[in-house]
């Protein structure tokens, strides 16, 4: 998926994303999350015991909204997510991005933690 310099500038900042997970017969469940963006794929960390993980296992469609309040610009991403390994590496990247200088702890490979990966089908921005 092609991005623009404006989208990449927003996604390079340590902003929070709001993740929307589908709930059958109800409004989406929204959750504020940290994210990692490698230029093509968003990666999020969650626990298997969280509602967002249970909703993901029922319906892998995911929406993300990242709002840059300084520039009044947002980026929206939608698509079908999948689960992947590599949580320990993701934890290190997330801590470096959001809490520079802090250690993710002794157990970043917690077996209850999972990585949800979203390569967006659609990526838009606006103000």
Domains and CATH numbers, the chain: 5-126 (2.30.110.10)
- CA 95/CA 88 separation, integer angstroms: 11
Give φ, ψ of 108 to 5 degrees.
-70, -15
Q: Which tens digit of pLDDT belongs to each residue from 16-59?
A: 999 999 999 999 999 999 999 999 999 999 999 999 999 999 99
Q: Which tens digit of pLDDT belongs to each residue from 53-71?
A: 999 999 999 999 999 999 9
- CA 1/CA 99 separation, integer angstroms: 29
Q: Which tens digit of pLDDT belongs to each residue from 69-115?
A: 999 999 999 999 999 988 889 988 999 999 998 877 655 567 889 99
- To the question of pTM greater than 0.85 for the whole model, the response is yes
């Amino acid at each position: 998926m092609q991005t623009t310099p404006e989208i990449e500038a927003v996604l390079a900042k340590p902003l929070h994303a709001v993740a929307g997970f589908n709930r059958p017969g109800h409004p989406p469940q929204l959750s504020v999350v940290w994210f990692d963006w490698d230029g093509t794929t968003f990666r999020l960390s969650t626990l298997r015991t969280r509602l967002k993980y249970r909703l993901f296992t029922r319906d892998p469609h995911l929406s993300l909204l990242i709002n840059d309040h300084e520039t009044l610009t947002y980026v929206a991403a939608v698509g079908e997510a999948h689960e992947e390994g590599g949580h320990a590496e993701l934890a290190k990247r997330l801590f470096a991005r959001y809490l520079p200088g802090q250690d993710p702890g002794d157990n970043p490979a917690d077996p209850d933690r999972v990585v949800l990966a979203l390569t967006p089908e659609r990526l838009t921005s606006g103000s």
